[in-house]
Homo-oligomer: A and B are copies of this chain.
Amino acid sequence: MQIALTIAGSDSGGGAGIQADLKTFQHFGVFGTSVITAITAQNTLGVSAVHPVPIGVVEAQLAALAADLPPAAVKTGMLATAPLVTAIAAALGRGGFGPYVLDPVMVATSGDRLLDADAEREVRNRLVPLAAVVTPNLDEAAILTGVAVTDVASMERAGHALLQLGARAALIKGGHLPGETLTDVLVTRTGSRHFVHRRIPTRSTHGTGCTLSAAITAGLAIRHGAGGLPDIETVVGEALDYLHRAIATAPGLGHGHGPVNHAAS
């Protein structure tokens, strides 16, 4: 059984953060471990409290896993502060964690910036170069690259800019563009691929970014852990199809933006 690690915040509502990641890992048959960076009190309507975990406790969690339960793949989600990003980059840079999926959580659905400028710079300079794949939405791609990302052509440009910054692949998520279909663009050293899905009219979009990056991490853990060469196109394609099914079969919980169905088969 392969191990996958998530480094992220905790969502009490169970639809995002480490909870979404652990559920997704389990769906793919991977054993999930977690390093919690912040505790949030939240439900489908919003966040009512955030408690950052002291950096020493984050480092202790990372050390406990590196020593005894090294993952076959790892992802990061909400990281909050520049010192925390620096500490996590240092740990990942020491190796032993497998391929790394960077979900650069920077902008809330409301449009609010979640990281200060120092933390954004640390993500760009320290984490992007470590990433097997980075999975920004349009706003995050723009912040990381300086490219104004407004259509598929500029998504391609932003993806190439992320490769210039050191990522081995970039998946630019197009869900925020209008249209009946939505297009996600994967850029790798060998070219790019567009994944097109029918848009599902739904309010169940809480934690979709977490779930997608966790599904990619699970796919990498299975292939990397088994000694094979992860085919990033295949892994990303399977993860996007899973997310599409998870949204389509969402259980409709809560009064706001509800969680997806992490057990979608």
Contacts and interface: CB of A to CB of B under 8 A. Distances in A.
Given A19-B32, A23-B26, A64 B48 contact: yes
A129 interface: no
A39 B57 contact: yes
B34 A61 contact: no
Interface string A44-79: 110011010110110011011101110000000000
Nearest to A53: B39
A69 B22 CA distance: 19
Contacts of A34: 10, 12, 14, 19
Q: How large is the interface on A (under 10, 10 to 19, 20 to 34, 35 or more residues)?
A: 35 or more
Which of A49, A56, A255, A261 has the most chain B CB atoms inside 10 A of its CB?
A: A49
25 contacts: A1-B253, A10-B34, A12-B61, A12-B64, A12-B65, A13-B69, A14-B22, A14-B33, A19-B32, A26-B26, A26-B263, A29-B263, A31-B251, A31-B253, A36-B39, A39-B57, A42-B64, A43-B64, A43-B68, A44-B68, A48-B63, A48-B64, A49-B57, A49-B61, A69-B253
